[in-house]
Structure 1
Amino acid sequence: MTGIASLIRQGTPSALGVTPGVTEHAEDYAATGGYGDTLSAAELLDRIADAGLRGRGGACYPTAAKLRAVRDAGRRPVVVANGEEGEPGSVKDRWLLRARPHLVLDGLARAAEITGAERGYVYLSDTTAAERVRRALAERAPHLPVEIVHTPHTYVAGEETAVVRRIDGGPALPTAKPPRPYEQGVGGAPTLVTNVETLARIALLAARPDHGYRTARTTLLTLAGGDADPVLAEVPYGHTLRSLARAQGTPEPAGALLGGLFGGLIGPGSLDLVLDPDALAAAGTALGCGAIRFLGPDECPVSLASAALSHLAAESARQCGVCVAGTGAIRDALATLTTGTATPDIAGRLERWSTSLPGRGACGLLDAAAGTAGSLLRSFPHLVRSHLDAPCPACDAAAGSGDRLTVAVPGVARRAVPHQRTSAPCPR
């Protein structure tokens, strides 16, 4: 990935910062309003609620409601900055930890003040991000003790119960719910497990409360696909998906895979949908973690769906028999479509799985697999039928193209000397 772009209005607080190409020092962050005392914890919580800030980890749950639930749970809570991105098409969280660790730590400290937490954790798998966070903690430690917890990088490692399990010394695997972490999490304490971009936006809102609505309605996106380089972009809600494709460099997409692997496939007729969690949910898709992969004009959606299911099946935690069997069955069925060996009943089987499997696993992996199958049927039914007649040349060409889902984190240089001014990369 080479591009870092901003489509937000000038003057709106930016998660990308002033110099996206280098790691920000504590002095530089404080000079832009970071670590300030503009609002009390109670005032900040009210501003978060008024702005309508939602989580950026995938579920888009109202942040103020989550903070209140942890605060009111009855015991001294714990706060966790969740920087483990399981979605292969997302890079925003690792980038934030590498480039703007103080922004994330400031947000974590403010979440601790709101909830009354006595300790915090930064949970991640990226070694470069861990080094930058450790350095930031040495430069300016928050008021509460913060520990960095490493985890192996997997699709399910960032699920909130897997986060708690790993911090408590176990494997990063989901557990049955209830209880949810806000009720009983790390060490049995009520625990706020919050995506690092959510924390970053809490810190931005604290620094500029007069821009709370804009801050809450702006998001980081990982845009990829076609023949163009992926782009990490900061975008306000309201842009169409088609305009984002053009900004990324895929001017005539044949559709898109939204929300990482969670939002499913949409066809070209849906590209005029606007970037907004509610609008996308009403259309049967999801913004999720903000990863959008556009289909090139000559790319086959069946092949992309098959690649997504292969990834999900390989990443299964293998704790739930229904997930292992269901995800594997969908993977195998889609593979027969790409090779022209599918049987005529495949559409019926995919439809049955897409409606019967969601909600039956311990985490969202099975839901993502079933949702991908269902979205392929809804958005591209004619292609599913045509793949029964003959092998697909586009699927055949893609078979040897390697990993098409994983996006690399943009480079962030470690600035050696505080206040050294380095030019930021040109926006795409």
Structure 2
Amino acid sequence: MTRIHSLMTGPAPLLGENPGRRETRDDYWRAGGYRDLSPDVLFNRVNAAGLRGRGGAGFPAAAKLRAVRASGAVPVVVANGAEGEPGSAKDRWLMRARPHLVLDGMLRAVDMTRAACCYVYVADDEAADSMGRALAEREPVVPTRIVRPEPTYVAGEETAAVRRINGGPALPTAKPPRPFEAGVDGAPTLVANVETLARIALLATRSQIPDSLLLTVSGRGLEPELVEAPVGTSVQALAYRADRLDTPGVLMGGVFGGILDPRRLATALEPAALDAAGSALGCGAVHFLAPGECPVALAADGLVWLAGESSRQCGVCVSGTTALARTMTSVVAGTAEPDDLARLGRWSQSLRRRGACGLLDAAANLAASVLRTFGPLVETHLDGGCPGCAADRTPDADRFRVEPPTVRTTSHPVSAPR
């Protein structure tokens, strides 16, 4: 079962006062939510806070809002809670436990962009039910609909969300145009991660909020945790709490951030420091290897998972992810040749930015991180010399899935709308 923990020195703004129970509308109102605030004042707060999207790409939220608002057409807002990244549970938990925080942020995005309608885009049954009840408890001022994609990695990509809402499959499309230029029904569309929207709602209740991270921490043999921590917390602090200071590697950002060198545990969880370490925070998923586990085998599992999640629209993605997964798996099995390592090195560079979405980039990043950080260990596999890898090992692509913490639902009477 996934636990909840705060590393904040004061209140944890996203976890709230009672993270184990679903927050009702009246709970949220009593905590200061849904209060009137000028959209322009809130936009200035978002801009001053330097809020970046929390879906993985980290794009400045104010820049997205500004682009949609300045389009000259009537926009659409999409609350993106698809959360297809491996090892991440934060978005599903937010929608299950704090649906009114997400809803408040979505409605404030509607106000700031002057949108005419909005969509809640969610693949998880319990999260969709919780958001549906929140919409019934506080009916929004613009038409709002819940749209359900299949729970896949690519379904959360912003053009895939637009395509699904438009009645098609949840598969990425070529860019340009970006959704902020032409999205749902051709209208400029703000596709915002639900955690980003939750933080916008928090900024509406106070001019400043603690700069925190919502992280999903997991690993084989660990009880997963949803952790709220200050920005700048070190990876080492998470490893200490998980009793994994002797970890042989840390898979960062779902799979997009690659495997962090265990000698870099002192790295701060903030973009510049992680970039300097050759990694990235992405969706905030942090997966610690257990002592004795092989980072090369972990990479093979990740590449097999990514190959299976390919939407199979781009030939380069189908062939690229398949080749990376097959070759890394043969390395783990001890059946690869020296030329295979050279091919892995070339592919990890040449396949970047060649697909319609970030899946192929994630695969290239993962392979590159292993070759860069664990080169000697990779070479020991050529003669079957890795003690942590059995020759008949079967790839375990399911190892990354983490369920959100349990959320209790308490029935409260719903009072008249305020």
Q: What's the TM-score bracket when you normalise by the shorter of the two chains?
A: over 0.9
Q: In the alignment, residue 24 of structure 1 is paired with which amino acid? A: E
CA distance in 2, matches of 1:413, 1:352: 50
Work out which of the residue numbers 386, 402, 408 in structure 1 matches 2:380.
386
CA distance in 1, matches of 2:266, 2:220: 18
Pairwise CA distance, 1:296: 1.2
CA distance in 2, matches of 1:393, 1:141: 59
Deviations 1:19-70 (A, max 9, x none): 1111110000010111012x31111111111111100000111110110011
Residue equivalent to 2:4: 4
Q: In the alignment, residue 168 of structure 2 is paired with which amino acid? A: G
State TM-score, norm by structure 2. 0.96
Query: Does structure 1 residue 406 correspond to structure 2 residue 405?
Result: no
Pairwise CA distance, 1:255: 1.5
Q: How many residues align?
A: 413
Pairwise CA distance, 1:105: 0.3
The question of whether the paired residues in 2 share the 8 Å contact of 1:224 and 1:231 is answered with: yes
Pairwise CA distance, 1:401: 6.1
Pairwise CA distance, 1:348: 1.0
Pairwise CA distance, 1:402: 6.9
Structure 2 spans left out of the alignment, 5+ residues: none
CA distance in 2, matches of 1:140, 1:322: 46
The question of whether the paired residues in 1 share the 8 Å contact of 2:304 and 2:397 is answered with: no
Pairwise CA distance, 1:418: 5.3
The question of whether the paired residues in 2 share the 8 Å contact of 1:106 and 1:142 is answered with: no
Deviations 1:101-149 (A, max 9, x none): 0000000000111111011110011111111111111111222221100
Moved more, 276-285 or 291-300: 276-285
Residue equivalent to 1:32: 31
Q: In the alignment, residue 171 of structure 1 is paired with which amino acid? A: P
CA distance in 2, matches of 1:279, 1:417: 45
Pairwise CA distance, 1:400: 7.2
What is the aligned-residue identity percentage? 57
The question of whether the paired residues in 1 share the 8 Å contact of 2:302 and 2:397 is answered with: no
Pairwise CA distance, 1:88: 1.8
CA distance in 1, matches of 2:398, 2:50: 37
SS at match of 1:157: helix
Residue equivalent to 1:62: 60
The question of whether the paired residues in 1 share the 8 Å contact of 2:6 and 2:229 is answered with: yes
Residue equivalent to 1:171: 169
Moved more, 374-383 or 400-409: 400-409
Deviations 1:275-304 (A, max 9, x none): 102221232211100001011121100110
Query: Does structure 1 residue 330 correspond to structure 2 residue 329?
Result: no
Residue equivalent to 2:72: 74
CA distance in 2, matches of 1:123, 1:194: 10
Deviations 1:365-391 (A, max 9, x none): 000111111000111111111111225
Structure 1 spans left out of the alignment, 5+ residues: 420-428
Query: Does structure 1 residue 270 correspond to structure 2 residue 264?
Result: yes
CA distance in 2, matches of 1:391, 1:171: 45
User: Residues 169-318 of structure 1: matches in 2 within 5 Å?
Assistant: 169-209=167-207, 211-212=208-209, 214=210, 217-318=211-312
The question of whether the paired residues in 2 share the 8 Å contact of 1:254 and 1:299 is answered with: yes
CA distance in 1, matches of 2:191, 2:69: 13
Q: In the alignment, residue 8 of structure 1 is paired with which amino acid? A: M
Pairwise CA distance, 1:249: 3.6
SS at match of 2:383: coil
Pairwise CA distance, 1:398: 6.0
Residue equivalent to 1:367: 361
Residue equivalent to 2:122: 124
CA distance in 1, matches of 2:396, 2:171: 31
How big is the alpha-carbon RMSD for the aligned residues of Structure 1 and Structure 2? 1.5
CA distance in 2, matches of 1:400, 1:58: 26
Taking a change above 3 Å as real, the CA distance of residues 241 and 27 of structure 1, as seen in their structure-2 partners, is same
CA distance in 2, matches of 1:141, 1:370: 44
State TM-score, norm by structure 1. 0.94
CA distance in 2, matches of 1:188, 1:310: 36
Residue equivalent to 1:92: 90
Q: In the alignment, residue 294 of structure 1 is paired with which amino acid? A: F
